[in-house]
């Protein structure tokens, strides 16, 4: 990969047609947060190892992964709440690795809101400005401005306990924005809210994002729908490591690893043998049948798996050209879809299959197959 390509990969919407040096300069100017080979240890536990990524101005990167995978630790390393045991953290090109959180100039929003209970909404939002000794006359207009941004100007004189969870989180966001930080870190900001409120707040965050074109955001979540809705790029975390990093659409449609395919979008991965080119795609053996994909090999000549998402399978009553024979094990109604667990007869592997509730799928037939369009069969290295 050339330097220009590497640079372009690191920023969103890399300007087209620039030479290597121009891209490098653009990247440098736009990088707001940089982690370089960062590791964090808690005693014997390595909570984060060799973590390297950058976040550009105006970009949202979601750290997504299962519980305990190191997401919050990465965020705390950026914020300065945890000392890194090796590596470098930069904010706007400045090495902040040894600086305290207050010296980093970052806005932070956490799951539990962490508002001061005895202070009014206005007092909470003004707190950061006062402790930075902002000019007195500038505080009130700025507090009003950020409260307006999050739709809370009418609640300025209330105490936190007089607000709903969603409203408290809006105040916490206003407080984080008050000091005009270049970087805002959000740690599971929606997970304490009920489902309806979460949806509203997700919409709010999307709207707010567009009002802050120069702010870099890092958003920690275990919820893939939040990551897909908000993030320009997603960093998939696994076992204290950065597993994959890429544009949300790329990771979803062309997952680079088996874990990414299963964690983001819930694919099942079929381990293929005897894989060879087939037109523009690939053909291989699985159990007692052949399967095709319209996608090409992921590079390298190691083993590959075919990854299929639950929505890409269809139940059929006759042997299809691109499918496997199954039995139905379990069915779960999930609102718009029935989620069916099907077991492949030849291999015993379980597959998740989503059947739209309006589709009358033949789940009770004597013999059943699931089939997938070769265009929807993804290829992952194993
Ligand atoms: P996530 O945010 O992905 O759920 P964390 O970053 O909180 O994961 O944790 C990563 C790992 O570090 C886990 O194994 C967790 O148990 C461990 N860990 C986190 N905080 C501490 C701590 N203060 N002391 C010891 N171990 C910790």
- Among 72, 64, 69, 74, CA closest to 255: 64
pLDDT given for residue 196 in this prediction: 84
Give yes or no for residue 1 having a pLDDT over 80: no
What is the average pLDDT across 19-23? Answer: 56
What per-residue confidence (pLDDT) applies to 27? 54
Pocket mutation for ligand 1, best pick of 72, 73, 75, 85 (most atoms within 8 Å of C-beta): 73
Query: 70 CA to middle of ligand 1, Å?
Result: 6
pLDDT value at residue 200: 87
> Residue 300 pLDDT more than 70?
no
Q: How confident is the model at residue 9 (pLDDT cuts 50, 70, 90)?
A: very low
Neighbours of 226 (CB within 10 A): 23
pLDDT of residue 297: 80
Q: With a 6 A CB cut-off, is 71 part of the ligand 1 pocket?
A: yes
Residue-wise pLDDT tens digits, 67-84? 999 999 999 999 999 999
The whole-number pLDDT of residue 13 equals 39
**Residues 98-113: tens digit of each pLDDT:** 999 989 989 999 888 7
By DSSP bridging, strand 216-221 and strand 60-64 are: parallel
Q: In the prediction, which pLDDT does 26 show? A: 53
Q: Is the pLDDT of residue 58 over 60?
A: yes
Is the pLDDT at 236 greater than 70? The verdict is yes
Across the chain, mean pLDDT equals 89
Percent of the chain with pLDDT over 90: 73
CB neighbour list of residue 64: distance below 8 Å, 6 or more residues apart:
71, 221, 222, 223, 224, 227, 231, 234, 235, 236, 237, 263, 264
339, pLDDT greater than 80: yes
8 pLDDT tier (thresholds 50, 70, 90): very low
pLDDT, one tens digit per residue, over 272-287 is 999 999 999 999 999 9
Would the pLDDT of 37 be above 90? Answer: yes
Given pLDDT bands bounded at 50, 70 and 90, which one contains residue 133?
confident
pLDDT of residue 130: 87
- Ligand 1 neighbour 131 (Cβ under 6 A): no
Q: Determine whether the shortest distance from the Cβ of 70 to ligand 1 is under 6 A.
A: yes
Burial class from Cβ neighbours inside 10 Å (0-12, 13-18, 19+) for residue 164 reads exposed
Measured CA to CA, the distance from residue 178 to residue 166 in angstroms comes to 18
Ligand 1: distance of its center to the CA of 42 in Å? 8
Quote the pTM value: 0.87
What integer is the mean pLDDT of 119-136? 88
Report, as an integer, the average pLDDT of 219-241.
95
How much is the average pLDDT of 102-128?
91
The closest-lying atom of ligand 1 relative to the alpha carbon of residue 75 is 6
What is the best residue among 35, 40, 44, 45 to mutate for testing ligand 1's pocket, by most ligand atoms within 8 Å of CB? Answer: 45
| CA–CA gap between residue 287 and residue 293 (Å, rounded) | 16
């Amino acid at each position: 990969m050339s330097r220009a390509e590497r640079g372009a990969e690191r920023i969103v919407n890399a300007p087209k047609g620039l030479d290597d040096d121009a891209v490098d300069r653009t990247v440098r100017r736009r990088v707001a947060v940089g982690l370089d080979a960062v590791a964090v240890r808690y005693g014997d536990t390595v909570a984060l190892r060799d973590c390297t990524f950058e976040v550009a101005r105006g970009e949202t990167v979601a750290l997504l992964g299962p519980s305990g995978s190191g997401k919050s630790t990465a965020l705390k390393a950026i914020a300065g709440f945890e000392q890194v045991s090796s590596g470098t953290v930069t904010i706007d090109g400045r090495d902040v690795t040894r600086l305290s959180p207050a010296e980093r100039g970052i806005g932070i929003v956490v799951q539990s809101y962490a508002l001061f209970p005895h202070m009014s909404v206005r007092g909470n939002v003004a707190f950061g400005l006062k402790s930075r000794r902002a000019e007195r006359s500038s505080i009130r207009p700025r507090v009003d401005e950020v409260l307006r941004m999050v739709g809370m100007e009418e609640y300025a004189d209330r105490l936190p306990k007089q607000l709903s969870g969603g409203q408290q989180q809006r105040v916490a966001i206003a407080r984080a924005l008050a000091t005009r930080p270049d970087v805002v870190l959000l740690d599971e900001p929606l997970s304490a809210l009920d489902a309806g409120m979460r949806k509203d707040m997700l919409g709010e965050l999307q709207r707010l994002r567009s009002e802050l074109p120069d702010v870099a955001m890092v958003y920690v979540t275990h919820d893939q729908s939040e990551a897909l809705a908000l993030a320009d790029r997603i960093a998939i975390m696994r076992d204290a490591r950065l597993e994959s990093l890429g544009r949300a659409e790329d990771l979803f449609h062309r997952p680079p690893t088996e874990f990414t395919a299963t964690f983001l979008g819930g694919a099942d991965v079929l381990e293929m043998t005897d894989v060879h080119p087939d037109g523009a795609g690939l053909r291989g053996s699985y159990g007692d049948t052949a399967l095709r994909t319209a996608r090409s090999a992921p590079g390298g000549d190691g083993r590959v798996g075919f990854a299929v998402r639950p929505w890409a399978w269809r139940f059929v009553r006759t042997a299809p050209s691109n499918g496997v024979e199954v039995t139905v094990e379990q069915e779960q109604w999930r609102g718009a879809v029935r989620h069916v667990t099907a077991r492949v007869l030849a291999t015993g592997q379980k597959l998740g299959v989503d059947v739209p509730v309006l589709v009358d799928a033949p789940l009770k037939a004597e013999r059943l197959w699931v089939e997938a369009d070769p265009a929807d069969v993804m290829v992952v290295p194993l």
